[in-house]
Structure formats: structure tokens, C-alpha cells
């Protein structure tokens, strides 16, 4: 992409004006750049999650178990995989998986502080998840162009995460029935309809939950 750089001087002498007028004239070409033409890494990851429809969550007792389970999940068609922070050697596991599988969206879950967020990002994470909204992480990952998914439970927490800059939130719904969760979504229809903001549900998968997610456009 060719970009024309224009400089404007505050002071111009008569000699300079004479020199400029003697130069051959050529039509000015201006190149415009729109960020919408090239999606950011965050938007790409968000699209991957939306297209997948499922974020597989991996928690293991050892790095060896984590690698074995992750490889099996990825070879089986999982395209978005979260590795929980409590997994031993989580960053080394992530690095290895990213080297072997550069295309899937691999991330780290239960990230609670900026230090862990930085380590995960440096290890190749495309997204980070937390059980709550950690504003320091939200600010830090914007510079690193990594998608941050905070956990929420109430309309107040959803709105607070959105106001802080979240593009997507995770509904912590282990103890919420599908009916209660649907009511939660219905209370905020303007957010659900926004193309720039998404809500996902943390729930063990069954037919009822899948039907709820489809009905709520998650």
C-alpha cells in the first residue's frame, strides 16, 4: 500500500516558494486506510469463537496429560481451546501447541493478574478468560491485541464489563437454570443485538443448553 506523506512548514521563505513553483507539477495521490478492511487479531479471534460455537475447556493434572488431551481435541475438530491456569506448565504447554497448531484459537483461562496475562500472551495465547472482570488485564491486553473474556453473572456486571471495553463476556452460569439465564439475556436485548458485543455461556453442554444458546443468539 503506497502512502503519501505531506509535510507543512510553518515558515516559508520567498526563495523556497520560488523553488517550489519551478518544480514539475504532478497530481496528488492520497491513499486512505480503513481498519475495517483488515480485521485486528482480536476481531479475528472473536470471529473464530463465533464460528466455532464452542470453547473447549481443558484442565489437567500434568503437562503431559494436557498435551495429550489437547492434541486429541484439536485433531477431533476443536478450533477454540482454553487451557486453565491451574494446569502444571500451562505456558509451556501452550507454546508447544501453538507451534504444532498455529491456526486454532488457543487461550488461557482463570487469568487473574497482569503478570499471568503477559506470560500467556508471550506464550501465544489468542484469548484470555477470567472468572470476573479484571480491569488491569483489560487495559493490558488491548496493547497486546489479545481478546479478553471476563466472567459476569448479573446485568450490572455485564454492563460494567461492556463499559470497560469488553467485546465478549462469559456468563458464569453453573448455578443458574436455563430459564433464569434466558431472562438475564432478555433484560439486555440492546447488547445482544449489537454486532460488536457477544455473550457466551459457561455451562456443561446438553440439548437444552444448546437450544437456549441458539434462541439467545449466543
Strands 127-129 vs 147-149: parallel, antiparallel or unpaired: parallel
Catalytic residue among 44, 64, 68, 82: 82
CA distance linking residue 190 with residue 193, whole number of Å = 5
In the sheet that holds 151-152, the strands lie side by side as 151-152, 168-172, 198-202
CA distance linking residue 150 with residue 68, whole number of Å = 28
> Is 198 annotated in the active site?
no
Residue position matching grid coordinates 463499559: 163
Give CA torsion, residues 113, 119, 122, 126, to 10 deg. -50
Catalytic residue among 64, 145, 170, 193: 170
Grid coordinates representing 135 are 480491569
User: How many Cα atoms sit within 13 Å of 11 on the Cβ side?
Assistant: 1
**CA-based angle 75:81:82, to the nearest 5?**
145
Grid coordinates representing 57 are 475447556
> Is 170 annotated in the active site?
yes
**Would you tell me the crossing angle of helices 90-100 and 114-122 to the nearest 10 degrees?**
30
CA distance linking residue 101 with residue 9, whole number of Å = 51
**Residues annotated as part of the active site:** 82, 170
Amino acid at each position: 500500500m503506497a502512502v503519501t506523506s505531506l509535510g507543512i512548514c510553518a515558515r516559508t521563505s520567498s526563495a523556497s516558494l520560488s523553488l517550489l513553483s519551478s518544480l514539475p507539477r504532478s497530481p496528488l495521490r492520497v491513499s486512505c486506510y480503513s481498519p475495517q478492511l483488515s480485521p485486528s487479531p482480536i476481531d479475528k479471534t472473536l470471529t473464530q469463537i463465533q464460528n466455532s460455537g464452542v470453547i473447549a475447556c481443558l484442565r489437567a493434572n500434568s503437562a503431559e496429560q494436557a498435551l495429550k488431551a489437547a492434541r486429541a481435541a484439536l485433531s477431533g475438530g476443536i478450533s477454540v481451546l482454553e487451557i486453565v491456569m491451574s494446569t502444571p506448565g500451562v505456558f509451556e504447554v501452550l507454546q508447544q501447541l501453538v507451534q504444532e497448531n498455529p491456526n486454532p484459537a488457543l487461550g488461557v483461562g482463570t487469568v487473574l493478574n497482569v503478570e499471568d496475562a503477559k506470560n500467556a500472551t508471550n506464550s501465544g495465547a489468542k484469548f484470555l478468560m477470567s472468572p470476573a472482570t479484571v480491569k488491569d488485564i483489560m487495559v493490558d491486553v488491548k496493547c497486546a491485541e489479545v481478546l479478553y473474556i471476563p466472567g459476569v453473572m448479573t446485568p450490572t456486571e455485564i454492563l460494567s464489563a461492556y463499559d470497560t471495553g469488553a467485546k465478549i463476556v462469559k456468563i458464569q452460569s453453573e448455578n443458574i437454570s436455563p430459564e433464569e439465564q434466558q431472562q438475564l439475556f432478555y433484560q439486555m436485548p440492546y447488547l445482544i443485538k449489537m454486532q460488536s458485543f457477544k455473550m457466551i455461556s459457561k455451562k456443561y453442554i446438553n440439548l437444552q443448553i444448546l437450544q437456549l444458546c441458539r434462541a439467545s443468539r449466543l
